[in-house]
Amino acid sequence: MRTARKRLAIWGSLAALLVTGLAYALRPQPVPVDLATAQTGALRVTVDEEGETRVREVYTLHAPLRGQLQRITAEAGDRVKAGETLLAQIEPAAPAFLDVRTEAEQRAAVEAAGAAYNLAAAELNKAKADLAFAEAERGRARLLMERNTISRRALDDAERVYNVAEANLATAEAALNVRRHELNQARSRLLSRQEIRNRSGPCECVPLTAPVNGVVLRVMRRSEGVVDAGTPLLEIGDPDDMEIIVNLLSEDAVKLKPGQKAIVTNWGGQDLNAIVRRIEPFGQTKISALGIEEQRVDVILDFADPPVRWRSLGHGYRADVQILLFEGQVLKLPLGAMFRQGDKWAVFIVEKGHARLKAVLVGQRNSLEVEIRDGLVPGERVILYPSDRITEGVAVVER
């Protein structure tokens, strides 16, 4: 009897321990979470994008006419003075080579011009003979008129014939000059490049001087050679008159207005201050790196700091730009604590070791933090990145 009671007591104790262990093992465990504290601090909301510096006014020096460009010796970075610094010179270009057909045509043109010249010379001789005969006839008519042997009309006819012969002589002389020039013109088309070079005198070059004061930004054509009218040669600008261009998404650009402050970072020196000067009214469609069409708008900013702080920047340099949309002291939380509850924002706060759902009203926000306008007070602890295990009333413990 005693043995049976002992066994019952032992097995009962073991069963009680087992039940107690199972109950302890199956009891609800607090969910480990990361916590953050709602606190008042500085919040900055910006539009961030990569920008590019550029000289505000860039002047491109073009070739004004076709010709032989002499080698440009100016280097990028050279200082130039408007109207004084000689940058390039253009001289007449040598003629093109003649192919066999063209040369034959030009030689035939020379022969035709020579024949026309000989014909004009013959016409001149004929005109001289006619003038000599008309002059003799006029002399005889005047003598006979003095003797009243011929009528006045006969004398007038002789005078008229003389005048016509004199005019024909002048016409023949002019025609001979025309044919002489045509012959010279035809012969000049057959001159070789070497003959032209030997006959040419001092170079009558067209000088190209700097249009404005500034610095040579880029030499686009350096070597000597034939250039056409309008060929770009150099770019000139003032590096002390610099601006920044930022290509923003159109939905970001509409948030901006002229006069807003900006910060220029990651350009190789200390952060710089800038001001939005203009938002371009025309957008462009561009393809992103992911192949998505985007509407982009150029935003122009001016440096607010003196040039001595950013003088090392040049035309076309890269920099990151943060345009300020909001900056102030607010009650804020990390953005990872927020989630949507229906059409409202909500957070889980921690009260006495349990999660409590609470709706909040948010204001300004950036990529890391958000302003809490209503629903929380400074010092309240909230759960970061709540998972699906976090529900109303669940026990939590800080990780």
By CB atoms closer than 10 A (0-12, 13-18, 19+), residue 315 is middle
Sign of CA dihedral 354, 355, 357, 361: positive
CB 208 within 8 A of CB 90: yes
Give CA separation, 253 vs 204, 261, 276, 288, 338, in Å.
54, 14, 11, 17, 26
CB 359 within 8 A of CB 372: no
- One digit per residue, the tens of pLDDT, for the chain of length 399 reads 566 677 777 777 777 777 676 665 555 678 888 999 999 999 999 999 999 999 999 999 999 998 889 899 999 989 999 989 999 999 887 777 777 888 788 888 888 988 999 999 999 999 999 888 888 888 888 888 888 778 888 878 888 888 998 899 899 999 999 999 988 888 887 777 666 666 665 667 889 999 999 999 999 999 998 899 999 999 999 988 999 999 999 999 999 999 999 999 999 899 999 999 999 999 999 998 888 899 999 999 999 999 899 988 989 999 999 999 999 999 999 999 999 988 899 999 998 888 899 999 999 988 899 999 998 999 999 999 998 888 888 888 888
Nearest to 315 by CA among 204, 226, 240: 240
Q: How many helices (H) and strands (E) are present in the chain, helices listed first?
A: 6, 21
Length of the chain: 399
d(CA 2, CA 321): 90
Nearest to 74 by CA among 232, 235, 205: 235
CB 184 within 8 A of CB 139: no
Those residues whose C-beta lies under 8 Å from the C-beta of residue 130, and which sit 6 or more positions away, are 165, 168, 169
pTM exceeds 0.75, yes or no? no
**Range 174-192 burial, b when 16+ CB lie within 10 A, else e:** ebbeebeebbeebeeeeee
